Amino acid sequence: MHIKNLIKSAALVALLSGANAFAAPVELLVNGSFEANLQATNTWANYANLTGWTGGSHGIELRNNVAGAAADGVNFVELDTSKNSSMSQSVQTVLGQQYTLTFQFENRPGVAISSQGLSVDWGGAEIAHVNNSLNGNWETRSYSLIGDGSAMKLKFIATGTSDSYGTSLDNVSLTAAVPEPETYAMLLAGLGLVGVIARRRKAAK
């Protein structure tokens, strides 16, 4: 009975060590709130690309206090520029690693729902389609993604009527829980203790 309790305790140490090892999420995107690009207050402009982001065939519209206010900082984007467009950013992934994507979107005031909407792609596959934000205000969405070991592309695409009036996007974040170096020793020690006790118990039979 004493051996069983030791094994349980060692297993608990290993489990807790493993949980603590992944306690520090790391931001993987560049310029997720679009603040790295200077846009004067009460102005907007179309750009082929933004810092960290590659624009689609019709670029990216960056706004500062025009047709709404930013959810984070002062800048936000719209992807129905002169026509429906897109933006993307590639991130090197680890095979099987889980990532958390969050972003905020908002209806453009006075524009029909049929003219708005965003498709969200990860690695070439659609993971979400958003439209009609809550009460017309900024709404936050969160999704769990899996890496395939390659440089995977995160892409936002304007949907709905292609008429230069679309959904606003801001505060895009992609994080992964990365092990903290000082916890590796604890994790290995806990797992090692489980193995040692299990072997001794087997040898004693």
Distance CA 5, CA 14 (A): 14
Task: Map tokens 């933004």 to a residue.
Answer: 50
CA angle 173, 187, 99 (to 5 degrees): 15
Give the separation between CA 177 and CA 104, rounded to whole angstroms.
21
Closest CA to 133 of 155, 166, 161: 166
pLDDT tens per residue across all 205 residues of the chain:
454 554 444 444 444 444 455 567 999 999 999 999 999 999 999 999 999 999 999 999 999 999 999 999 999 999 999 999 999 999 999 999 999 999 999 999 999 999 999 999 999 999 999 999 999 999 999 999 999 999 999 999 999 999 999 999 999 999 998 765 554 444 445 445 545 455 655 555 5
CB atoms within 10 A of CB 167: 26
Sign of CA dihedral 171, 119, 25, 106: positive
- Cα 205 to Cα 72: distance, rounded to the nearest angstrom: 63
* Torsion sign (Cα): 54, 116, 106, 67: positive
| 37 and 47 Cβ atoms separated by less than 8 Å | yes
Question: Considering only CA atoms, which of 103, 36, 35 is closest in space to residue 73?
Answer: 35
